[in-house]
Amino acid sequence: MNQPEIKQGDVFRWSFREPPPRGSITTAYWCCSQFCIADDSGLLFDTYWGSGSSNKEVLPERCELKYLGNLNDYEPRDGNFVREKYRESDILDLRHGNGGACYLRKGAEPDEETMRRTIEKKIRDFIAERDHAARMVEHWEKALASEDFEKWI
């Protein structure tokens, strides 16, 4: 199987082609984010522990790699980043259970259609919450009107 040419900063989502024989799938991925980034020599390292040599090396010949982008094409975003303004294709989200970061493609601009879809979804969600609240009010009004309302609590 041909492996992609790997350059410094390339980011991949990875998974084992076959779980290592030494353990179950659970231990094979222990302390792994399943995101890896190429260092300056083209070696891939998982990002679970941030950066540095304490991360597991990801061997392309043993793994499926899905290319996500190159860090040199993105800028890190802070906690105030409002991702709902941007196309998903402009976002590189490497967050995981032990940290990670979110990045935005250099030069990306807020996208009107993405923001419109975000607002429409919020409206649908609030309508669903309103409808649920109305059903709950009706339920509890029946409870209060019941002679044996104690059983409702």
pLDDT digits over 16-31, tens only?
A: 888 666 655 567 788 8
Edge to edge, what strands does the sheet with 91-93 contain?
74-77, 102-105, 91-93
Residue 146 gets which letter from DSSP? S
Residues 113 and 86 sit within 8 Å (Cβ to Cβ): no
What digits encode the pLDDT tens for the residues 94-134?
A: 999 888 899 999 999 999 999 999 999 999 999 999 999 99
Q: What is the pTM assigned to this prediction?
A: 0.76
Residues 39 and 11 sit within 8 Å (Cβ to Cβ): no
CB within 8 Å of 95: residues ≥ 6 apart? 101, 102
Picking from 13, 6, 62, the residue whose alpha carbon sits closest to that of residue 38 is: 6
Picking from 101, 112, 45, the residue whose alpha carbon sits closest to that of residue 74 is: 101
